[in-house]
Structure 1
Amino acid sequence: MRTWRDINKDSWTFTKKLIVGYGGGIGVYKTSYAINQESGFILNGKISADLNISNRHSTGAGLICRADNLWTFLAFHTAPSAKEGDFTSARISLFKQGMFSEIFASTEEVHLDERFNQFSLEFFSGKVRGEIKTSQKIYELTYTCPHIAFPGYVGLVKFYGTGVSVKNVRIEKTELPFEEKYSLKMKKFEYDIFICHSSKDKPFIIDKIIPVFQQQGITYWFDAEQITYGDPITQKIEEGLQKSKYVMPCLSENLKQSSWTRGEYSAILNAEFSGNSERVTIPLKLENCEDNDIPLLLRDKKRVDYSNQVELAEFMKFLKS
């Protein structure tokens, strides 16, 4: 097992048939991780393993991908639930140079077996799918991660100094998107288009763009209409992206200042670059947009100019086709 590396240097032991994590960990969450260097850096792929987590309801462990040696990686893992009970919860989190950020959590209770449970983590471009298979049920968490995809190692992670035993680790690289539950032909999108915009452009969109969509019968996802007080913002945006056929970044001088907007379209754009055409990004150039305001990754995209009424009319026809 020389291909494995313990980043903490005192939290993992590697044998021929078993990997054991114990104690150790740094930071608030007492985190520790180990990477497999044999497969090298992987941009798109899958890691799966059988995990036996001690005190499985109040501690956490799981799998990681796109990891480096400097505490940057994406994780699919369990973590204690806010509620009391004989269960835990599944989560997708990001570590960026040691800074922890939970980006998506399942609302479903996860009941782990007392012995080994099969974990798997699939990742292709911005899309991530984690799965926990127990003797009673399969729990799944799918998310389009709003961060630019980067290559890295795959491996294991644990929290709170928990003990974990791992066996049957399987790693593979992939060149095609992981299998979807439904093919694109079978899928019915709830919205024709997801309106991706800077908050400073909201009045223009409400007054100028949305009325056109309404007149033409175009269904759209717009945060001011779909998100209300008390809603989990990230989760609602993710649902909107999943249910929309096209993503429309509204190009303006304000767009490049909006990190939320970049997060919304970046994952979809990355999937396109990797050959996944399930959703398509179509930029709309607003009136207050100069050429140097357009993000580099969107400059090569065929876009629609709002001030060109012929182009706008053709765009409406395209969305309805």
Structure 2
Amino acid sequence: MGFFLETLFGGLMAGMLYALVALGFVLIFKASGVFNFAQGAMVLFAALAMARFAEWIPQWLGFNSALLANLLAFIAAALCMVVVAWLVERLALRRLVNQEGITLLMATLGIANILDSAGQLLFGSATYKIDIGMPKDPMIVLENVFQGGLLLSKEDLYAAVLAAALVTMLTLFFQKTATGRALRAVADDHQAAQSIGIPLARIWVIVWSIGGFVALVAGVIWGSKLGVQYSISLVALKAFPVVILGGLTSVPGAILGGLIIGVGEKLSEIYLGPYLGGGIENWFAYVLALAVLLVRPQGLFGDKIIDRV
């Protein structure tokens, strides 16, 4: 039982991090109607910016405080993502208002390639370290309940708490603020939103900035765990089935989808791996997403699309 609970906890922690990346997809689609294939590149770009600014800022300002360096680096990386959002709106989205969805999709593919190249040009292509002080040592809990207790990762626990806090704030922002309601209106109909005075350009900069901030948080957490390298953008591939499972328009769906996939792939690897062979963790999410598409194409919590003719 103890081993099962350890596996379950590990799956929940991994699922929360998947959900954090998937949240970027959901936020931008929910507020602009664009499926952002560049989200993975944004995670990588933001993580590179954070790692490199944390190295450069102490050299520029002449101090040795790691905490202050990380804080200033985070602010600088966040400002970089706001600049990226402004450039995306100014150079791409502004000229694609009311275009077909496939046109916007191809635009995000181009943005992804540009961000990958720009990240390498500006920040380098080596593997970099992000150290934000999250404890690496595991901890043992419930020693009185299970023999030997449960071995849990403090780093995963801290990361999950940060992700949960961010999700809560974003949910409240979308549901309770006038700007959040304006973002949803823009996603429903660009022209109708403009006709009632909603500034489309400003709204798109806001939503892409929020997407960039989410990408930064995800990049910092993943970079702290794995190091910042170009393979980190592949984490976004695992977010695709999370979005499909939870639904493209549902923030809670992204969270629950991430948890389901995180737990499912860990348990299947441990308990089905001996019978089906190794590597289940690599394809479990995609098989589950395909099964959901066949039964409920809009995902578990997505809005059902009804075409009237």
- The TM-score with structure 2 as length reference comes to 0.24
The structure that has the greater radius of gyration is 1
Structure with more helix by fraction:
2
Greater RCO (CA < 8 Å, at least 6 residues apart): 2
- The TM-score with structure 1 as length reference comes to 0.24
Structure with more strand by fraction:
1
